[in-house]
Amino acid sequence: MISYEQFERVQEIFDPKHATRPQKDPYQFILRGMITCKECGHAIITEKHTKKLKDGTKKEFRYCHCCGKNLDKKCKYHSVYVPEGELIEQIKNELGKYTIDEDFYKIALEALAEEDEIEVSRQNEKIGQINKQIADKKKQLDSLRRSAYRGLITDEAFILSEQESLEKDISHLESKLNEVKTVASNWREVALDVFMFARYAKEDFDSDDWERKRLVIKQLGADLKLSGRTIEFTPVKYLIPIAESQECLKAKKEAARTASQQMKKDLKEDLISSCLSTSAWSRRQIAHA
């Protein structure tokens, strides 16, 4: 009903000593607000458990589990407690599917620059074709209106039907033109972001920076579901070509280890055909990113 700040202010008014009370530091759960239970949709929370060891010392353990129960049906995963470290390892394993090394990254940037020239030319050709189609439709519409004005066509129902059809075609072509233009302008930016993520995301997640870790998870895919003890990932669609081509490209790199120039040439060609081709990226609707 009220914010935490408002609550604290009210407590301070009622009890001036409240502000000087030691505040317990909240535990920073790395997946807080980013993962839900697949069974019931409730949030996944973490709890601290303390265990007394044989030598008399105490050790803290943190476990994750579904926080709630459905009023109509009890969640079967509510009592399933998963060590937080286990979920972190699952995220690291998932990141490994999209991780590339420095050599691979440099080759990817070179391939991206080459493919960008080809893609720009391809998109410009498409833009020219669509502009011509729009011009033809507008010419037909103008001709229809002139004929109706001059009395050469007197059937009003036919005129209205043809006019509606032509206007609809023009509207569709203009939408298609805007989409192609968006793809042409966004294509390289999207591809570059993907390769940047593939190169540095795992390093960022292994760092001690809590916010960087959470940013990596968001970029990997915000829709995370915990099914019992297993996280189900829905990766960002633009990462899929990286994962699909990983094994093939790694094998080619290993086979060509002794022939660096040939390796670079082969890897570039494979990158262009598998990761950077129009079929791999436009099909994933870059225009609607």
Mean per-residue pLDDT pooled into runs of 10, the chain (289 residues): 64 60 60 88 87 85 82 80 92 88 79 74 86 93 88 86 92 89 72 86 89 88 86 82 71 58 64 55 43
Looking at residue 179, its pLDDT comes to 81
Is 108 part of a structural domain of the chain? yes
The predicted-structure confidence for 202-223, as pLDDT tens digits, reads as follows 999 998 888 889 989 888 876 7
Rounded CA separation 275/76 (Å): 40
Is 87 contained in some domain?
A: no
Q: What whole-number distance in Å separates Cα of residue 15 and Cα of residue 168? A: 69
Domain extent at residue 166: 102-288
Distance CA 84, CA 213 (A): 14
Q: Are 80 and 66 in contact (CB under 8 A)?
A: yes
57 belongs to a structural domain? no
Q: Is residue 169 situated within a structural domain?
A: yes
* Of residues 261, 257, 239, 264, the one with CA closest to residue 111: 264
Tally of structural domains, the chain: 1
Q: Is residue 213 part of a domain?
A: yes
Instruction: Tell me if 109 is assigned to some domain.
Output: yes
What pLDDT was estimated at residue 278? 44
Is 240 part of any domain?
Answer: yes
Phi-psi region of 259 (alpha: psi -120 to 50; beta: other; left: phi over 0): beta
pLDDT given for residue 91 in this prediction: 92
pLDDT of 276 reads: 58
Under 8 Å CB-to-CB from 134, ≥6 apart: which residues? 170, 173, 174, 177
Q: What is the dihedral of CA 264, 265, 270, 275, to 10 degrees?
A: 70
Q: How far apart are CA 30 and CA 164, in angstroms?
A: 55
Q: Are 249 and 270 in contact (CB under 8 A)?
A: yes
Residue 257 lies in a domain: yes
Q: Report pLDDT for 231.
A: 93
Tokens representing 34 are: 């980013």
